[in-house]
Structure 1
Amino acid sequence: MIIVPEREIADLIGRKDAFDAVEKTFAAMASGAAYNFPVIREAIGHADALYGFKSGFDRSSLALGLKSGGYWPGNMDKGLTNHQSTVFLFDADTGQARAVVGGNLLTALRTAAASAVSIKHLARKDAKVLGMIGAGHQSAFQMRAAVEQRDFEKVIGWNLHPDMLVRLEETANELGLPYESLDLDRLGAEADVIISITSSFEPILKAAQVTPGTHIACMGTDTKGKQEVDTDLVGKARLFTDEVAQSATIGECQHAVAAGIVSEDNIIEIGAVINATHQGRTSDDDITLFDGTGVGLQDLAVASAAVELAVQKGVAVQVDF
């Protein structure tokens, strides 16, 4: 069995590796070659932690396995990241354990890759202004991945706690882009692409604040009850997602579906656009919304890529198991 420790991941896999793996995974899901198993996510009643499993199988790549992990809100006080994940891969031909891979950085990379895939396939080609809602740890990964998909000329941002906006400014400066903090009315009016990456349980962005032609990637809603945009905005947008069942039950579309504003039939897998079986954006005036709920197959894809690179570079730990 191969072990790829968390400490090795940063030197093994980059944004392009993650982007390619996630794009291929979404395409395989839409073609029926890959599927996710039901998600388990529970409060464990200890340390205020949420813990769960995401798993699946991709017949095209033979990626089989699961990601185990969750959220421990007290970890920052211990010098650890709050999100903790490990990916387990199995041999699809024998069922034997094939690899254990550190999943913390991989989770950040694959989440950013998913929104970047949506920008590539759904945002207007002339998009120039990137709007960021949320300034947590994941926001920097999101921004770095997004700017590789369009020729953005400016980044604008908003966060519930303004003192955290320095992360967005520093990341934009690192990328050589001017940055400005705005209120939500101006952000919605000026942004061509908006990435929302928060843990909100109340809608932040409203339909009245968004202009025609905007592409929105909602990347924070992955649990029942969470919500980043109002249901009116979901109702007026062309809807795309990683997996329809998750979008309708734990993703950004859950509230609009429950209210009868949209149905699951209104939500399209992004893989169908990648495979050119769905046209995606139909005009420059469409508001497109990608509901990135996060699927286990994304984790398996980037972990498999990390294992291959670790073996090639001689940093994989081999153990008898």
Structure 2
Amino acid sequence: MTDGLLIVGEDVCAEVVNSADAFKAVEAVFGAMAKGDAYNFPVIREAIGYADALYGFKSGFDKAGKTLGLKSGGYWPGNMEKGLTNHQSTIFLFDPDTGMLQALVGGNYLTAVRTAASSSVSIAHLARRDAKVLGMVGAGHQSAFQLRAAVEQRDFEKVVAWNPHPEMLPRLGEVAKELGLEFEAVTQEELGAQADVIITITSAFEPLLMKSWIKPGTHIACMGTDTKGKQEVDPELLAAATVFTDEIAQSVSIGEAQHAVGSGLISEDDITPVGAVINGDHPGRSSDDQITLFDGTGVGLQDLAVASVAAEQAEKQGKATRISL
């Protein structure tokens, strides 16, 4: 990049980064993490005591991709009533050779698309090839991104969905219809009985899926738990599954595995970075009956990877703004 600060707004990010771009960037950074070529710095995430908001920073350095930076933002649960998305964030990219700020990139769209890419990467590498029914637990802002990314990895024929607020399900049903898929709103137990792949994308603090509801061979991508105390599935389910994650340190501290590890059902040694599967160092799924679970905690390097693509493409296409700082 040339001198000056590159500004890439939310609308531009949506124009220059699609789900395939995000998949490629996230898959590459997971592989780099597993090789030790990229690492995340400790996450800061706090309840600020105002507006029920959670706010924090995710950051890291990808030596392979030469990407250094941070994402600042969080979760404001009252935003939807104001016509805004609950998740608000901005990504800062720095020149790893000089430390100078290179780009300021809108993070809301990219957070949604990189989170969807993460579950999509797990489906690509861990779900059964013959998976036909996709289960969606959650129908908020990110669910449509998750659904669109998932269908690029398997030949799904049907979507079954459950949400704590059922009135939100028709919107997800419209996305399924647009993708040519049958859609059915079901109970949580029925979802487990039908689905070959399940994506959970909620802000729950209690298990929404129980182990006894999940059939053999299911792949589950738990994408909502990214804070201490959050929880989406029964800890017994992790004990019964082969568990993969984006980053083990986050998985056991703020991810879905925090509960299973905390209660002694599994240990840190029972969790495998999905990057090891991507790199060919771990076989991934070993049988059609095996339950696989991906604990997608959301790492800063994902954000930096997709923001780097956004900055590069926006500049190349003449859609970014450059200013002196």
TM-score band w.r.t. shorter chain: over 0.9
Matched with 2:116 is: 112
Q: Distance in 2 between matches of 1:41 and 1:19?
A: 26
Matched with 1:162 is: 166
Q: 1:195-206 alignment to 2 at 5 Å?
A: 195-206=199-210
Q: Distance in 2 between matches of 1:143 and 1:293?
A: 18
Amino acid paired to 2:156 = F
Q: 2:255 aligns with which of 251, 257, 281?
A: 251
Deviations along 1:52-111, one digit per CA (max 9) or x if unpaired, are 000000000110000000112222233222211000000000101100000000000000
2:90 is paired with a residue of what secondary structure?
strand
Q: 1:263-302 alignment to 2 at 5 Å?
A: 263-302=267-306
Amino acid paired to 1:250 = I
Matched with 1:57 is: 61
Q: 2:76 aligns with which of 72, 75, 80?
A: 72
Amino acid paired to 1:263 = S
Amino acid paired to 1:279 = P
Q: Distance in 2 between matches of 1:291 and 1:144?
A: 19
2:128 counterpart of 1:121: no
Q: Distance in 2 between matches of 1:77 and 1:168?
A: 19
2:64 is paired with a residue of what secondary structure?
coil
Q: Deviation of residue 8 (structure 1)? A: 1.2
TM-score (norm 1): 0.99
How many residues matched? 321
Q: 1:223-234 alignment to 2 at 5 Å?
A: 223-234=227-238
Segments of 5+ residues of structure 2 without an aligned counterpart are none
Q: 1:32-47 alignment to 2 at 5 Å?
A: 32-47=36-51
Indicate conservation of the 8 Å contact 2:85/2:141, yes or no: no
Q: Distance in 1 between matches of 2:77 and 2:216?
A: 38
Amino acid paired to 1:172 = A
Q: 1:148 aligns with which of 137, 148, 152?
A: 152
Q: Deviation of residue 189 (structure 1)? A: 1.1
Tell me how large the CA RMSD over aligned residues is: 0.8
Amino acid paired to 1:18 = A
Q: Deviation of residue 160 (structure 1)? A: 1.3
Q: 2:226 aligns with which of 219, 222, 233?
A: 222
Q: Deviation of residue 137 (structure 1)? A: 1.0
Segments of 5+ residues of structure 1 without an aligned counterpart are none
1:137 is paired with a residue of what secondary structure?
coil
Amino acid paired to 1:313 = Q
2:195 counterpart of 1:191: yes
Indicate conservation of the 8 Å contact 2:94/2:103, yes or no: yes
Amino acid paired to 1:258 = G
Q: 1:1-12 alignment to 2 at 5 Å?
A: 1-12=5-16
Percent of paired sites with the same residue? 69
1:281 is paired with a residue of what secondary structure?
coil
Amino acid paired to 2:258 = Q
Q: Distance in 2 between matches of 1:73 and 1:221?
A: 15
Indicate conservation of the 8 Å contact 2:222/2:294, yes or no: yes
Q: 1:303 aligns with which of 304, 307, 312?
A: 307
